[in-house]
Amino acid sequence: MNNKKTILDYRVIVKPDKRTGSNKDCYVATCPTLGLTDDGTTVEEAISNVRQMIIFHLDCLEKEGREIPVDTPQSELVTSTQIEVSLRHHNFAY
């Protein structure tokens, strides 16, 4: 049995949201590479929750002998850009 440890780096995107049912404020953390999402009352809690989900998911993949997807966030530049638009109907989906 190989006990060699490997560090995997996964991108996590955190967004403010509302809880379904209660409509209370929360944060949603998503790991797009693995397709996993979890939430929390704070940013830290959302990240902690999705982190635990990532660990569980990777453990399941390994036990099933399936390939483990790898992310390379350090090789990408994530940015935003502002676009000025003139629209008659301002029906934006946030």
Helix (H, G, I), strand (E, B) or coil at 84: coil
What is the pTM for the complete model shown? 0.78
- pLDDT (tens digit, 9 = 90+) per residue, 43-68? 999 999 999 999 999 999 999 999 99
Helix (H, G, I), strand (E, B) or coil at 44: helix
Per-residue pLDDT averaged across 6-10, rounded? 91
> In this predicted structure, what is the pLDDT of residue 80?
84
Residue located via tokens 């940013």: 43
Query: With contact defined as beta carbons under 8 Å apart, do 38 and 29 qualify?
Result: yes
Which long-range CB contacts under 8 A does 68-77 form with residues at least 24 apart?
A: 68/8, 69/33, 69/34, 70/8, 70/33, 71/8, 71/9, 71/10, 71/11, 71/31, 71/33, 72/9, 73/9, 73/10, 73/11, 74/9
| 2: pLDDT strictly greater than 90 | no
Closest CA to 10 of 54, 43, 67: 54
